[in-house]
Structure formats: C-alpha cells, structure tokens
C-alpha cells in the first residue's frame, strides 16, 4: 500500500469517519470547518487531491467532495486494528458493557436450559440492534443459518436503490452457500472483507465482518455483520470480538 504522510492519515481518517456518519461526499471545506487539522482549507484540498491520485479516495462528480475507495477503507480498518482502541469513548464503553452484560446473563440462563437455538436467535437480534446492520449466525453442527436486521438494513440510504438491495440479497445467498468454505480455513478468529475483497459476486458495494466461535456445544459457529462499505467498523469489530469472548468462556 502506497505510503502517506501523518498529516494525510489524519485527513483520510477524518474524511472516512465523516462519510460513515453522513453518507455524503466530504469536501475540504467540511473538514476545515469540523476538524482541528491545523491547516488551511486550500492545503486540505491539495492533500485530498494527492490522496485521490494515490487511490485512497475518489471524486464521484467534478464539483463534489470525495468518498473512500476500498483501499481507503482498508487503510482505515488496518489503523483501527493496529491501535486496538476500538471503543475510545467512555460513553460507548458504558453503552456496550450494559448491553453485553445482558447477553452474559442470558447466556448463563440458556446454558442451563441447553437451548442454543433460542440463544442464537437472541444474539442475532442483539447484533442487528447494536450494529444497525444485517446480522447472521451460522450453527455448523445443525446446519442452521439465522438472519436478522431487515429493518435496520432498510434504514441505510444505500438501499433506497432497488438494484443495490437486490445485489445485497444475492450476497446473503452467496454467504450462506459458502459458509463451510469460510470455516474450513484454519487459524482465524475474525475476518473483515471490504468491497472488492469479498469472496462472492455482486459484492463491491458491501463489507462483511465475520467471527468464528464456539456457541455452547455448537463448535465452529460463525457470527457475521454485513452492510454497506460505509459501516461503523470500529463499533462492529468490537461487538464481534466481545461476543466471541463471551461465547468462548
């Protein structure tokens, strides 16, 4: 991946955070007004041009702001993973811990009842609610694929386009057909696929975070979050990691 300067890293990360939040191309003036970057709007504009030429950003229209490319998102996600500081705000930590404490309590109850199916349904719903994305759980030993989050999916601006929604349905079907292929790969806990990295057709507009865990007595199960590339990666990666930690205890 082509090197970028520390200043360009700050600009790129700020732009991607903003685009994830508002789903609109981000201009140099927007970054100047909303982030303390310590440089002028003109300098930001020049840096955005350089980041575009290096393949981290693209400009949908001549007069529009810029949006991340797959390369830009990959850089952003790699930075998150390297920092290992995915919940860097105390409010998010508190909110997540409250939700996950509920899940821990439910897990104890369902372990006693040995009712993995009902617990899996609960987890899938919680994942959809907390991530705001489409969520899936695969229990390998009983070959069951649970899907939740249709309502959350329809709230995403990307899915107002019927063609994109149809492509997403094909992506879900492709995921279901290839779950055993994903599981057959050794030595992994979390995988993150962004746009063109996805191992299926019709997936350039989407991203997927999958985690492998033991679900009670169901070995090698999968937790998955799927959505547009403009998803909150930090929150969703942390959610998958936290659930895996609970389930593997």
Across residues 166-188, what is the average pLDDT?
A: 88
Q: Look at residue 101 in the predicted model and tell me its pLDDT.
A: 66
Q: Look at residue 182 in the predicted model and tell me its pLDDT.
A: 86
Percent of the chain with pLDDT over 90: 53
Sign for the pseudo-dihedral over CA of 107, 108, 110, 114: positive
pLDDT of 94 over the 50 cut: no
Q: Look at residue 228 in the predicted model and tell me its pLDDT.
A: 94
Q: Any residues with CB less than 8 A from the CB of 199 and at least 6 apart, and which? A: 178, 181, 182, 193
pLDDT tens figures, 7-47? 999 999 999 999 999 999 999 999 999 999 999 999 999 99
Residue 17 and residue 79 in contact, taking contact as beta carbons nearer than 8 Å: no
pLDDT of 102 over the 70 cut: no
Q: Look at residue 45 in the predicted model and tell me its pLDDT.
A: 96
pLDDT of 160 over the 60 cut: yes
Q: How many Å apart are CA 183 and CA 238, to the nearest integer?
A: 21
Q: Look at residue 23 in the predicted model and tell me its pLDDT.
A: 93
């Amino acid at each position: 991946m082509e090197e970028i300067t520390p200043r360009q890293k700050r600009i790129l990360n700020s732009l991607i955070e903003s685009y994830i939040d508002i789903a609109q191309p981000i201009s140099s003036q927007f970054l100047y007004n909303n982030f303390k970057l310590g440089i002028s709007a003109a300098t930001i504009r020049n840096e955005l041009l350089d980041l575009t030429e290096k393949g981290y950003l693209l400009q949908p229209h001549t007069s529009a702001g810029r949006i991340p490319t797959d390369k830009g998102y990959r850089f952003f996600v790699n930075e998150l993973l390297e920092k290992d500081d995915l919940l860097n705000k105390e409010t998010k930590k508190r909110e997540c811990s409250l939700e996950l404490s509920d899940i821990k309590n439910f897990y104890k109850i369902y372990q006693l009842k040995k009712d993995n199916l009902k617990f899996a349904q609960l987890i899938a719903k919680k994942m959809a609610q907390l991530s705001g994305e489409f969520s899936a759980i695969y229990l390998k030993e009983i070959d069951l694929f649970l899907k939740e989050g249709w309502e959350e999916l329809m709230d995403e601006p990307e899915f107002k386009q019927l063609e994109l929604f149809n492509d997403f349905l094909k992506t879900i079907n492709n995921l279901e057909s290839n779950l055993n292929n994903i599981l057959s790969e050794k030595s992994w806990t979390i995988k993150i696929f962004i746009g063109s990295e996805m191992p299926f057709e019709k997936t350039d507009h989407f991203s997927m975070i999958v985690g492998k865990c033991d679900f009670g007595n169901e070995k090698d199960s999968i937790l998955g979050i799927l959505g547009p590339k403009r998803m909150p990666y930090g929150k969703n990666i942390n959610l998958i990691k936290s659930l895996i930690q609970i389930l593997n205890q």
